[in-house]
Amino acid sequence: MSLDRYAVVGNPIGHSLSPRIHALFAEQTSQHIVYEARLGRLDHFTEDVRAWFREGLRGLNITVPFKEEAWRLVDQHSHRAERAGAVNTIWAEADGRLTGDNTDGAGFLRDLTQRLGFDPADRAILILGAGGATRGLLEPLLCAAPAHLVIANRTPEKARRLQQDFADLAGGARLEASGLEDIPAGPYDLLINATAAGLGSDGLALPRGLLHAQGIAYDLVYGPAARVFLEWAEAQGARTVTDGLGMLVEQAAEAFAIWRGVRPDTAPVLAAIRATAAAG
Ligand code: ATR
C-alpha cells in the first residue's frame, strides 16, 4: 500500500516542528500518511511545488519565506486566503488544479478561544506589526466582534493600509491605525506581538499601562524569540502570556482536518511538542 504523502516547505526548514505535529495527529487519528520537511529552493519555488503535486503529493504546508509566492502560484484561493494575501496550505483538486488556503488566522483564534478561554467580543485588542502575520489575523479577529482593535506599526502607513483594507469587516468595532509612538491609550485586554522584533535594548520600546491587569499577551513566534516580549508583559502584570506554539499546532490541525476529513485533538499534541521544546 502506498501512503498518501504530505510535506512542509520552507527555507530554512531543518527546525520545523510540522513533521512531528502531523505524525502525532496521524497516530492519534489512525491515518496512514507520510509527512516530511522539504527545503524550498528560493529561485525555483513555483516549478518545484508544481512538480511535487504532479508526482502525487497530496498536500503541502508553506512556511517562511514562501507564503506570498504560494499565494501567487495556486490556481484558486479559499476566501480566507484571498483576504490574507498569503497561503500556508495547498491541495490538489480532482482535476489537478491547486487550491490555496490560509489556516493561520483560524489557528490563532482557536488557540485564543479554546486553550486560553479568551472571547474577543466587546474587548480591546492591540496588534503590534502590520506585515503578513497581522494581515492573516484581521479577518477572524474582526469577525469575533471586538469593541476596539488597534494596529500599531513602526511604519504607520502600513498600519493605515490594513485599516483601509479591512474597514468593511469592522462592523461595530472601532478599527484604528497608529505608529508605535502614538498608540491610543490602553488598557488593552489582548496585546499581540506580530512584529519580527523582540523587545529590549534594540527592540520595541512600549509605554507602560498598555495592558489590562487581567490581560493576555500573545507573541506569534515561539521559543526564545518570544522571550523578551513575554517577560515585559509579565512585568506589566499580564494575567496570561503565551508564545505562538499553540497557534502553530492549531493551524496544523486545521490543515490536517481539511486534508484528511478528521480533526485531531490538539491539547495532547501541544503538550508533547512543548515538552520536547523545553527539553531541547
Ligand atoms: P510577517 O510576515 O512575519 O508579518 P513582515 O511582513 O516582514 O513579516 O512584517 C514584519 C513586521 O515587523 C512589520 O510590521 C515590521 O515593521 P515595518 O512595517 O515598519 O517594517 C515589524 N518590525 C520588524 N522589525 C522591527 C523593529 N525592529 N521594530 C519594530 N517593528 C519591527
| pLDDT the model gives residue 197 | 75
DSSP string, 102-122: --HHHHHHHIIIIIS----TT
Instruction: Read off the C-alpha cell for 182.
Output: 502614538
Half-sphere exposure of residue 90: CA atoms within 13 angstroms, side-chain side: 32
Buried b / exposed e along 88-106 (16+ C-beta atoms within 10 A): bbbbbeeeeebbbbbbbbb
Q: Give the whole-angstrom CA distance, residue 36 versus residue 9.
A: 9
Residue of 155, 183, 195, 199 to test ligand 1 pocket, by largest number of atoms within 8 Å of CB: 195
List, for the chain, all residue ranges whose pLDDT scores fall below the cut of 50: none
Ligand 1 atom 18: residue of nearest CA: 155
What pLDDT does 131 receive? 95
Tens of pLDDT, residue by residue over 83-106, are 999 999 999 999 999 999 999 999
- Cα dist. 203→54, 129, 220, 229 in Å? 44, 13, 16, 9
Cross-strand bridge partners of residue 37: 8
Q: Is the backbone of residue 135 left (phi > 0), alpha (psi -120 to 50) or beta?
A: alpha
Ligand 1 site-directed mutation target among 154, 161, 221, 222, most atoms within 8 Å of CB: 154
Closest ligand 1 atom number to CA of residue 134: 4
pLDDT of residue 1: 66
Centre of ligand 1 from the C-alpha of residue 132, in Å: 9
Write down the pLDDT at residue 44.
98
- Strand order, beta sheet including 174-178: 174-178, 148-152, 124-128, 188-193, 211-219, 240-242
The pLDDT score that the predictor gives to residue 133 is: 95
Atom of ligand 1 nearest to the CA of 158: 18
Q: Is the pTM of this model over 0.85?
A: yes
